[in-house]
Amino acid sequence: MRPPSVYNVVAVLSAPVLYGPYRLRFRGTENLPSSGGYVLTSNHVSSFDPWPLGMPLWPKHWLRIMAKSELYWWPLRLIIDGAGAFKVRRGQADTEAISTAVRLAREGHAVMMFPEGTRRTKGLVKKHEARPRTGAARIAIEAGARLGWDRWIGERGHFIGMTGFGASAPAPDLYRHFGITAEALVEAANALV
- The string of pLDDT tens digits covering residues 42-69 is 887 778 888 888 999 898 888 999 998 9
Taking residues 161-168, what's their average pLDDT? 60
Neighbour count for residue 177 (Cβ, 10 Å): 11
pLDDT tens-digit profile of 78-135?
999 999 999 999 878 889 999 999 999 999 999 998 887 677 666 555 566 666 667 7
The domain segmentation of the chain, as residue ranges, is 5-148, 156-192
Class (C level, CATH) for 5-148: alpha beta
The whole-number pLDDT of residue 74 equals 92
Q: What is the pTM of this model?
A: 0.72
Residue 164: pLDDT over 60 = no
Q: Output the CA torsion 176→153→135→64 (10° steps).
A: -120
Q: How far is CA 143 from the centre of its chain?
A: 11
Treating both helix axes as pointing N-terminal to C-terminal, what angle do 95-106 and 135-143 enclose, rounded to 10 degrees?
Answer: 40
Task: Between 33 and 98, name the one with better pLDDT.
Answer: 98
Q: How far is CA 112 from the centre of its chain?
A: 4
CA atoms within 13 A on the CB side of 28: 5
Distance of alpha carbon 106 from alpha carbon 100, whole angstroms = 10
Residue 176 contacts by C-beta under 8 Å, 6 or more apart in sequence? none
Q: Of 8-22, 40-54, 118-132, 161-175, which gets the smallest average pLDDT?
A: 118-132
Distance of alpha carbon 176 from alpha carbon 119, whole angstroms = 43
Residue 15's pLDDT band (boundaries 50, 70, 90)? very high
Distance of alpha carbon 14 from alpha carbon 95, whole angstroms = 33
